[in-house]
Amino acid sequence: MKTRPTGNTSNTDWMGSLCPALTSMPLKHLAVPGSHDSFSFWVDEQAPVGPDQKAYVKHLVAIFRFLAKKVMKKWSMTQNLTFREQLEGGIRYFDLRVSSKPGEPGHEIYFIHGLFGHKVRDGLNDINNFLTKHKKEVVFLDFNHHYAMSEEHHHYLIKMLKDVFGHKLCRIDVVEEITLNYLWEDVYQVLVFYHHPSAESCPVMWPGSKIPAPWANTTDATDLIQFLETTLGERAKYGSFHVSQAILTPRVKTIARGLVRGLRNYLVEKNLPTIMMWVEAQKPGVDGVNIITSDFVELVDFANTVIKLNNLLIQDRPQAHDLFSDCHKD
């Protein structure tokens, strides 16, 4: 039996450990680590291919069956750590793609990235259990892709979110007003962003427009960094949270060349040093980085690197020496 990688738990309570100068700043100005395709630490090779896949992929799976799914698994999994392990390591933004299983009775919803993952309810319960134990930690849940979902499915998922998180759900407000102090005062711990019209009338489902996540769609690390810089320069005009997706996206020919090796071994590991150099050089604050996402967040000291960027906000303030002594330290 293979040993699963485990996460670092030193950042379990990092938000609650920030100094007052940071907890009073708009959350959109803080640096927050996130994961890309956050739920893909487990996928079901026995289930049908997901409705998020193109027709030619479904055709290949119909021909090659289990072998094709093995390859898909290597390229669909972008994380190794479970939700709990990611949270304990400091991850506070989750990129969530969901789907029904076509032909399955009822309205059950699953995570999906090529192949189906766990039931959404199970993942939400894991996150809620963590938040219940860590009262000052806050998460962003970004439901940005929905597949094979009718209005009934959407209503089912929105009700599920309300049932699981209850009073922890933050009501929609002016983004500039959202600080950790604001959230703690009202005992809010969850900001849900729901990219579908079905949630427009719900006061605790934030619209997707409040958390843009520009996608570079490239396999080249240099092109990715140029794109990240360009989109950061444009963030001020949106007045919102902002996600910098520090990820590379394989093309069909990329997968063909690295067929057996998979996403991590063929694309991610060799480019991580370049991507992390960019992350380390960033600064949060006005026009700076906010949420940064990565694949395989445990491969490098990703979460800790992003969290430490917040110290730069203190160094620029008056009386920085006194404030800095009270701030989060690793």
- Just list the catalytic residues: 36, 113
Cα–Cα distance measured from residue 320 to residue 318, given in angstroms and rounded to the nearest whole number: 5
Output the six-digit token pair for 100: 């029904």
What are the residue ranges of helices labelled H in the chain?
20-23, 55-64, 66-76, 83-88, 120-133, 151-165, 180-185, 221-233, 252-257, 262-263, 269-280, 302-308, 311-315, 320-324
DSSP state of 171: P
Q: What are the residues whose beta carbons fall under 8 Å from the beta carbon of 69, sequence distance 6 or more? A: 45, 49, 61, 115
| Coil, strand or helix at 243 | strand
Q: Is 147 helix (H, G, I), strand (E, B) or coil?
A: strand
Which two structure tokens, joined as six digits, stand for 32?
Answer: 């927050």
Tokens of 204: 């605790």
- Determine the residue type at 37: D
Q: What angle (nearest 5°) sits at the alpha carbon of residue 140, between those of residues 108 and 198? A: 45
Token representation of residue 303 = 């979460």
